[in-house]
Amino acid sequence: MFSSALSLQLKQDLEAQRKAGNSLVGLDFDPFLACQDCPGRYDVAKTTIKDAVCWADVLGIWDEKENAGPKVTAELKRKDDRWVFANFHYPNPERPEFENLLSLLKSLREFRARRADAESKKP
């Protein structure tokens, strides 16, 4: 269902969060629908295939009304004879590293590494 790169990074994030217990060190939202407490339903609004990549815009539907623009855009790539999710892109991110799931997971990994480094240097 996921590319090997995305699957590995999701597993690493889940394991880091499991080890941290109640301290939040990983994803704290649904990265596939880009929501915290996902209300309503979601529909794929449009798909585009370009350069062997499929882009699928996912819209949130609340109270039977479409929200303006996609909530998330799924990026899929061919693996053998099927499509797999390779990344998820978020419109209007607060920071550039929050534009897509892979860069967000990388940012969280780097945060955990800096935190561990700082902890190891404490007397």
- Give the count of domains, the chain: 1
The burial of 33, by beta-carbon neighbours within 10 Å (0-12 exposed, 13-18 middle, 19 or more buried), is given as middle
Q: Cα separation of 112 and 19, whole Å?
A: 12
Q: Give the pLDDT confidence of 75-93 residue by residue, as tens digits.
A: 999 999 999 999 999 998 9
Q: Where are the alpha helices (DSSP H) in the chain?
A: 4-20, 101-120
Question: Does 95 score more than 80 pLDDT?
Answer: yes
pLDDT at position 107, please?
Answer: 95
Q: Is residue 22's pLDDT more than 80? A: yes
Tokens coding 86: 């390779």
Per-residue confidence band for 48, with pLDDT thresholds at 50, 70 and 90: very high
> What's at 38, amino acid-wise?
C
- From 4-8, 20-24, 42-46, the region with the lowest mean pLDDT: 20-24
CATH number, domain with residue 19:
3.10.450
**Can you give the residue range of the structural domain that contains 113?**
4-120
| Burial annotation 75-106 (CB, 10 A radius, 16+ → b, else e) | bbeeeeeeeebbbbbbeeeeeeeebbbbbbbe
